[in-house]
Amino acid sequence: MDAMDLDAQSADARKMHQMGIQEKQTCIDCHKGVAHFPPEITMDDSALKALEAQSASTPASAKTLYAVSNTALGDLATVYPATQMHVLKSTETSRLVEIRGSQMQGSEQVIYYAAGQRLILASLSEKGQQSLNILSDWKKDDYGNAWRDVALQGEWSGSALASREPMWDYARKLDNVYCAGCHAPIPAKHFTSMPGPLWRKGWGLVPTSVKTNWIS
């Protein structure tokens, strides 16, 4: 760490290295010596396919659903993995579901998990924005950002799980098999909703349907 010129680094790198210095970590603790020469990893999607197959057998009586992959909610929105949907009514071919979350003023095309927590549940089309049920008035947080609670109802015809646990198991396996190829395994409790967008930006995982200025 003493050999680093923090001022010459990107903001993201400087933030992580300052944290490492404070916690008395070494480069090997995170990078395993491959920070500049990442290993070539071949991705295997068999576990994901098994998860999708499991979601196809979710009982029709399930009252709560969780999306497994990016899935359209009719022409209203794109719902992202692990988003909770409450089933209001079921038919033979589809379910009427409701998603509840929060919006930040200036980013009305997105439903977040909660006020101040920028974990994206869904990105909305113009029609989706017009179809929202507004549950509260705008209220500013400690940083001056205005938030309000919203709900969106729509027809869900895709597959989904009745529990998030199979997805968390899948995520843990990904962390152990792929992420740990470059850095030490990181416990799930280390990941929080606020730094998430910055990490996803660094990994190239920002949803393309969301404007780049949603990270602020």
Contact 115, 139 (CB under 8 A): yes
- What are the distances in angstroms from CA 184 to CA 113, 180, 187, 203? 28, 5, 10, 16
For the chain, the average pLDDT equals 83
pLDDT beyond 50 at 73 = yes
The pLDDT of residue 101 is 97
The pLDDT of residue 177 is 76
26 phi-psi bin (left φ>0, alpha ψ -120 to 50, beta other): beta
At residue 39, the 3 state secondary structure works out as coil
Q: Give the residue extent of every domain in the chain.
A: 6-44+166-214, 57-156
For residues 4 and 19, give the distance between their C-alpha atoms in angstroms, rounded to a whole number. 13
For residues 194 and 23, give the distance between their C-alpha atoms in angstroms, rounded to a whole number. 20
The pLDDT of residue 49 is 86
For residues 73 and 91, give the distance between their C-alpha atoms in angstroms, rounded to a whole number. 16
Question: Confidence band (pLDDT; 50, 70, 90) for 39?
Answer: low
pLDDT in tens, 105-129: 999 999 999 998 888 999 999 999 9
